[in-house]
Amino acid sequence: MDTRQRICRAIDDYRSRAITVSHAIHEHPENRFEEVFAAEQLCAAAEALGLKVDRPIADLKTAFRAEFGSSGPTVAIFAEYDALPNGHSCGHNLISGAALSAVAGLHAVASDLKGRIVFMGTPAEEGGGGKILLLNRGALKDVDAAMMAHPMDGDWATMPALATCHIQIRFRGKAAHAAIAPWAGSSALAAVLQTFHSVDMARLHFRDGHRIHGIITNGGQATNIIPELTECRFVTRAYTASYAAEMAKRVVLCAEAAAMATGTRAETSTIAGYKNMINNMTAAHRYAAHSETLGVPAPDAPRDLPTGSTDMGDISHAIVAIHPVFAISSPGEGTCHEDAFVKHADSERGYNAMIRVAKALAMTAYDLLAEPELLSQAKAEFAANRDS
Ligand SMILES: [Zn+2]
C-alpha cells in the first residue's frame, strides 16, 4: 500500500479517538493562555500514541511540543485550542483535532518519513499571539515549514488574513457639574465621540479591502458630571503590516485633533498586532491537490474574501507556512466568532471535515519531507515573497 494511503487509513482508524478529544475540548472552553484542560487532553493523546511530549515550552504553560521521524527537514503541525467568551465559536477544537489526527496518521508511518514531524500546541491565538511568543522564544528555530487548518464557512487552500495594529486612546478632560457649571469642564466624552466621527470620515481615504473598528471602553463617570476621563480602542487591518501602521497614524491624528477641539488631552499608544498571512502557494497547492482527491476542492481564496487576522501571519513571515480553511457551515449559517458557529464546531459535518482535512495536511507534510524539490521550491517562493 502507498504510504499516503497508509497515512489516511491510520487517520480513519484514529477517528473516534480524535473526535472524543475534540469534543471534550469543545465542552470545556478555555480562553487564551488558560487552556490547561485542552493542552492536557492533547498531550495525553500524543503520549498515548507513544510520543514524548515537552511541556511547557517557551515559558507558556499551555504550549507543548512533540516530535518524531528521522533527521532531515522538519515540518510542524500546529494545534490551536483556545476559545472565546462565547465558547468555541472559532472552532479551535477542530483545529487541534485535525492536527492530532494528522500527527496520528504520520506517526503510523514514522519509520518511512524522510525528516521530522513536530506536533506543537500553540495557545492564545485569540488576541494573545501565542505563536509570536513561540517564534520569538526560539521554539521554531529548527522548523522548515508549518501548517494548520481553520474551520470557516468555505473551503479554501489559502487565507488572505490581514495584518493588524492596535491603538489605545485615553482622553483627560476636566470634571464639572453637568447642570450647575458645564462651562467649567472640558468633556473627555466629546473627544471620544469626535474621534469616532473623524475616523469615519477618514475611511473614504483608506485603500480598498481594509478595516478599522473600535469600541469605547470608558465613556465617563456619571451622567451629571462632565466626563474627565474616557478611553477607547481601535484596530486597523490591512493587507500589509506597514499599511495597518499607516492607518493607525491617521487614527492618532484624529484623536489629537479631537483633543484640541474639545480642550482635552489625548494619550495614545499604538502596538503592532498580527502580520498578514503570506500563503505559501507551493505548499498550499499541494494541500489543495490532496483535498480534491479526498473529494473537496479547495481553490485559492479570492483576495477580497472576508477574513480576519491570525498569529499564523507572523509565522508565515518567518518560515514556509500554510493556513487553509475548511467549511463546517454554509454561507449564511454562521461563521467564525458568531454564536451559531459554536454548534457547527461540534457537529457531524464538522468532525467529518476535521478528519478529511487531517488527511490532506498529513499528506502535504509527508510530501514536503519526501520530495526535496517540493520543499526547496516552497522555500524559494518564501524567500521571494518575504516581507510582502
Ligand atoms: Zn480562529
How far, in Å, from the CA of 183 to the mean position of ligand 1? Answer: 48
Mean pLDDT score across all residues of the chain: 97
Return the percentage of the chain with pLDDT > 70, whole number: 99
pLDDT greater than 80 at residue 53: yes
How far, in Å, from the CA of 12 to the mean position of ligand 1? Answer: 25
| Residues carrying CATH 3.30.70.360, the chain | 163-272
Strand 325-327 vs strand 150-152: parallel, antiparallel, or unpaired?
parallel
How far, in Å, from the CA of 86 to the mean position of ligand 1? Answer: 13
| One-character DSSP codes across 212-240 | EEEEEEE--S-TTB--SEEEEEEEEEESS
pLDDT at res. 363: 98
pLDDT at res. 354: 98
Return the percentage of the chain with pLDDT > 90, whole number: 97
Strand 265-272 vs strand 325-327: parallel, antiparallel, or unpaired?
unpaired
Surrounding ion ligand 1 within 5 Å at CB are 90
How far, in Å, from the CA of 90 to the mean position of ligand 1? Answer: 5
* Fold classification of 163-272 (topology level): Alpha-Beta Plaits (3.30.70)
Q: Which residues contact 41 (CB under 8 A, 6 or more apart)?
A: 21, 24, 25
pLDDT greater than 90 at residue 197: yes
How far, in Å, from the CA of 91 to the mean position of ligand 1? Answer: 7
Give the closest residue to 45 by CA, choosing from 81, 9, 71, 75.
81
How far, in Å, from the CA of 126 to the mean position of ligand 1? Answer: 7
| Residues carrying CATH 3.40.630.10, the chain | 3-161+275-385
Confidence of residue 231 (pLDDT cuts 50, 70, 90): very high
Stretch (H or E) spanning 121: strand 116-121
Strand 145-147 vs strand 320-322: parallel, antiparallel, or unpaired?
parallel
pLDDT greater than 90 at residue 386: no
pLDDT at res. 209: 87
How far, in Å, from the CA of 253 to the mean position of ligand 1? Answer: 32
Q: For residues 46-63, give the mean pLDDT.
A: 98
How far, in Å, from the CA of 84 to the mean position of ligand 1? Answer: 9
Compute the residue count for the chain.
388
How far, in Å, from the CA of 80 to the mean position of ligand 1? Answer: 8
Count of C-beta atoms within a 10 Å radius of residue 59:
10
Strand 116-121 vs strand 145-147: parallel, antiparallel, or unpaired?
unpaired
pLDDT at res. 1: 82
Strand partners, 237: 164, 211
Q: Give the CA diameter of the chain.
A: 86
Model's pTM, two decimal places?
Answer: 0.92
Cα–Cα dist 35/55, whole Å: 13
> What is the CATH superfamily name and number for domain 3-161+275-385?
Zn peptidases (3.40.630.10)
Confidence of residue 303 (pLDDT cuts 50, 70, 90): confident
| Residue type for position 70 | S
pLDDT at res. 201: 97
For residue 374, with 0-12 CB atoms within 10 Å meaning exposed, 13-18 middle and 19 or more buried, which class applies? middle
| Residue type for position 297 | P
pLDDT at res. 51: 98
Per-residue pLDDT reduced to its tens digit, 184-193:
999 999 999 9
